[in-house]
Chains A and B, each alone.
Chain A
Amino acid sequence: MVKRKLKVYGTRRRGHREKHYVKKEGKYRYFEVRRDAKGHFLYKKKWNPKKPLKAETYTELHPLVIPYETGREALEKVREAVKMWEWVEFDAES
C-alpha cells in the first residue's frame, strides 16, 4: 500500500537552555528546561556541555511530515506528534 503523508506546520519548540544555581554544589549549572506556551515550568533535564542540545530543542520552522495508511491512524499519530512539541506564537515581519 502506498504510504500517504500529512504535514503539520507552525513554529514549534521543545526546550531551551537555562542557568540554575545548584545549592549543594554551590555552583551554577546549565539545565535544559521546557515550559508551556504560557511560560509555566514543565520539567528540567541536566545539560552537559559535551553533549550539546539536540536540533529539536531549538525553535523549528520545518514541517512535521507524518506517514499514515488510514485516516484513524493519521489522527492518532498527529495527536501524539502535536503533544511532543510546544507550539509558540510567531509573527513574521514579511
Chain B
Amino acid sequence: MTLKAEHEWVKNGYVIGFMTDRGVILDLDNMTFKKVRHLARTLCKQYRLEGYIIVRSSPRNYHVIFNRYLRWKTVTMILFSLWEAIRWGVFQLREGYLTLRISRKNGKNKPKIVFKTGKTDKLIADYMDVYESFKRF
C-alpha cells in the first residue's frame, strides 16, 4: 500500500470540475474522516466560514467546501495556513482558481456527500446546484 497520494492524470474520457475563486474549497488526500472533520471544524471556527460540507471522492480522499464568499487574497491566505493543503494549493493557484471534481474519473465513482453542517446558502449552494444537476450525467 502506498501512503502518499500521487497525482492521477485523466487517462480516458473527460472529467467535470467545479471551479471557484470566491471561496475556500479543499482537496485533502490520504486522510481519515476524523482528521478531515477536525481540520474543517478548526478552519470554520478560526475564519468564520459559516458552514461546510465534506465530500468523499474515493476511500481516504475527501473534499471540503466552505460556505462563505471571500476575496481571492483571503482564500490564498487560508489555503496556505494549512500545510496539508499546500501542495494541492500551489497547483490550483497557478491557474488562478480552485477546482474540485464532480464527475467520474478513471473508473472512480462520483464524489459523495458524507457530512454537512452550518449554513449552506452561498458557495455550498453553488456547489450543490451543479452536483445535483450532474448526478445522472
> A: which residues have CB within 8 A of B?
2, 4-12, 63, 65, 68, 70-72, 74-75, 78-79, 82, 87-92
B133 near A4: Cβ-Cβ < 8 Å? no
Main secondary structure of the interface of B (DSSP, over half): mixed
B133 near A9: Cβ-Cβ < 8 Å? no
B14 near A12: Cβ-Cβ < 8 Å? yes
Contacts of A9 in B (CB 8 A): 10, 14-15, 17
Residues of B within 8 Å of A, CB-based: how many? 22
Give chain A nearest CB distance to B64 CB in angstroms.
19
Total CB contacts across the A-B interface at under 8 A:
67
Q: CB within 8 A of B12: which of A8, A78, A89?
A: A89
How many angstroms between the C-alpha atoms of A92 and B22 in the bound complex?
A: 32
Give chain B nearest CB distance to A35 CB in angstroms.
16
B12 near A90: Cβ-Cβ < 8 Å? yes
How many angstroms between the C-alpha atoms of A91 and B8 in the bound complex?
A: 10
Q: CB within 8 A of A6: which of B12, B22, B130, B132?
A: B130
